[in-house]
Structure 1
């Protein structure tokens, strides 16, 4: 690196939403710890708002389905990046696309460190005949190890969450009431095995709604999800569905102002946690031991499916493998236990 030039690190994390959100505490911590460091993050365009609010961190969107698709598309992406005078690359994704980029950056002799995903350990964790059952390294620790090798060590206690954002005013204005506790509910996940059964979540909402103490905000994405959320909004008096009401950037602002988020083992849990919002997570065939637990959340904020009844849990890291007979593991988490945990978290928060 040239003398007196500001150091510049490139970070690659293309997907998924939760994994991108988990980069926020470490990136924010690095910026605070190393005042002369500049960071550029390559991620999918939709995820840009997750990163964009961190000072001295620039986002370059990678459109891997169009402009940057395939080998020649990645070469085009590399051509856009190499002019940035990058001093090192932190590959926090370690997939085929980023490995191809690694070969390109070798042409400039730029240090390129890839995250160790711990595939062997994760395979052992999800083995039904496992001999050991213990927590693996967290994703935050795996991310930190990459920066350590680039010469920017950072500890878990040096990572930081983001401050609240200002909620925008739209045509359909969403106002945070000062008299009611704001509870967000993100009831969906990528796989059914990680999604709390609809009728049980509806009972949770009914129990909360009946108290008249809470303002409940629903989050979702797909058209099918929006349909379910709209039905709940019509059925309950204290419920607001904001799916499709705001763009992603503004939705993040709403999340940052919640008093509590209820989510699955999914991206929304990590979005809430990156703002230090107390987050209650419900777990099915996956498990916090895999290393994807939300940032700085007490493990007591997780409600887990019954492993005595379903000892093969976790059956997979991402929830995409469900052994026969394990389709209903989340039914071992009762709506009453969810509401009880909500009350406990809110009570601790107010004390």
Structure 2
């Protein structure tokens, strides 16, 4: 059976899809799986052993192209994807754009979420067969259940396995190495620099080697600030590639991060990981697995989770840490690392 998977972004969503691929590989070991994914994440998708071929798509670049260039690029991409004769297409994203891409493949059977389950119910109009999957579950479980429904197998007694650790089998685990992921895309998800410094100092006192991972100039400035306060800590002088960052996360004996793709990657790589949550909720998109913990303020503030990029409890334009994150103390994180 030849299967085409549509799940184009984001980085965290890519990681959330891996357990469903592991299920499929176990149930249908002879299936050939191709995966359509945004070109920026094509290398990540190839990490899973169930994937035969990754098919990059450049939607973000297409949006910026002129109409003539856009038409040419879409036509060329359509011709390339239709070279394969797929038995089944699964749209695991549930958006109008992903359902349109799925139809381009020309398969006789196109499966997706039904109108109670899809993020954009209009997408269901383009599917040949739809499946109800409760939206009250974690994103990982939703994708696993969609795959099981589309391919007719049961998830009973099926362990949750991300399946990508073997790709990094050449990386040895370091003893007492702590990696900190200090950045994220929303300011409301950020942790106070003083908390990072305190956590680093405590970890160093407990015998950890501490390394800070950064991905933007602002994050590099924070990493430098942490290292200035705790000179034994380290960070790379240049921004790491996703592959290089993954190798750091595999090597780590423990990871602390925020609600960001690299924290999800650490969890998918089966490293001991603690993720800090405030404005967003870990219930549906938090880290998952026995080796992970999601830490949020307890008791929760009445505004949590707000899912907002700006904090209503702070003045407009304020760079202060939101109360929901300020209340997460470094001591709590250290305690969780000992579990």
Tell me the TM-score normalized by structure 2.
0.80
Question: Do residues 305 (structure 1) and 284 (structure 2) align?
Answer: no
| Conserved? CA contact 2:196–2:226, under 8 Å | no
CA distance in 2, matches of 1:144, 1:177: 29
One of 191, 195, 199 as aligned partner of 2:190: 195
What does residue 52 of structure 1 align with? 46
| Conserved? CA contact 2:8–2:93, under 8 Å | yes
| Conserved? CA contact 2:94–2:119, under 8 Å | no
CA distance in 1, matches of 2:264, 2:296: 17
After superposition, the CA RMSD in angstroms is: 2.9
Question: Do residues 109 (structure 1) and 108 (structure 2) align?
Answer: yes
Q: Which secondary structure state, in structure 2, belongs to the residue aligned with residue 84 of structure 1?
A: coil
Distance 1:52 1:286, change over 3 A: same
| Conserved? CA contact 1:117–1:142, under 8 Å | no
Deviation at 1:177, TM superposition (A): 8.3
**Structure 1 runs (4+) greater than 4 angstroms displaced:** 67-71, 117-120
Q: Which secondary structure state, in structure 2, belongs to the residue aligned with residue 333 of structure 1?
A: coil
Question: Do residues 342 (structure 1) and 337 (structure 2) align?
Answer: yes
Deviation at 1:323, TM superposition (A): 3.1
Greater mean alpha carbon deviation, residues 276-285 or residues 153-162: 153-162
Q: Which secondary structure state, in structure 2, belongs to the residue aligned with residue 150 of structure 1?
A: helix
Gaps of 5+ in 1: 1-6, 121-134, 169-175, 346-351
| Conserved? CA contact 1:11–1:41, under 8 Å | yes
What does residue 267 of structure 1 align with? 261
What does residue 132 of structure 1 align with? none
Per-residue CA deviation, residues 204-234 of structure 1 (Å, 9 max, x unaligned), is 11221233x1111211211221232134335
Tell me the TM-score normalized by structure 1.
0.78
CA distance in 2, matches of 1:154, 1:197: 45
What does residue 184 of structure 1 align with? 179
The 5-angstrom pairing of residues 15-26 of structure 1 reads: 15-26=9-20
| Conserved? CA contact 2:87–2:107, under 8 Å | no
One of 19, 25, 35 as aligned partner of 2:29: 35
One of 184, 190, 205 as aligned partner of 1:210: 205
Q: Which secondary structure state, in structure 2, belongs to the residue aligned with residue 157 of structure 1?
A: coil
Deviation at 1:31, TM superposition (A): 1.5
CA distance in 2, matches of 1:185, 1:216: 7
CA distance in 1, matches of 2:185, 2:241: 20
Per-residue CA deviation, residues 278-304 of structure 1 (Å, 9 max, x unaligned), is 211111111122x112231467x2221
Deviation at 1:143, TM superposition (A): 0.7
Question: Do residues 295 (structure 1) and 288 (structure 2) align?
Answer: yes
| Conserved? CA contact 2:17–2:143, under 8 Å | yes
CA distance in 2, matches of 1:62, 1:338: 39
* Aligned length in residues: 309
The 5-angstrom pairing of residues 146-157 of structure 1 reads: 146-153=146-153, 155=155, 157=158
What does residue 9 of structure 1 align with? 3
Q: Which secondary structure state, in structure 1, belongs to the residue aligned with residue 177 of structure 2?
A: strand
Q: Which secondary structure state, in structure 2, belongs to the residue aligned with residue 65 of structure 1?
A: helix
CA distance in 1, matches of 2:232, 2:140: 36
The 5-angstrom pairing of residues 73-84 of structure 1 reads: 73-84=73-84
Per-residue CA deviation, residues 155-198 of structure 1 (Å, 9 max, x unaligned), is 28343133251567xxxxxxx785x4011110121111111112
Q: Which secondary structure state, in structure 2, belongs to the residue aligned with residue 48 of structure 1?
A: helix
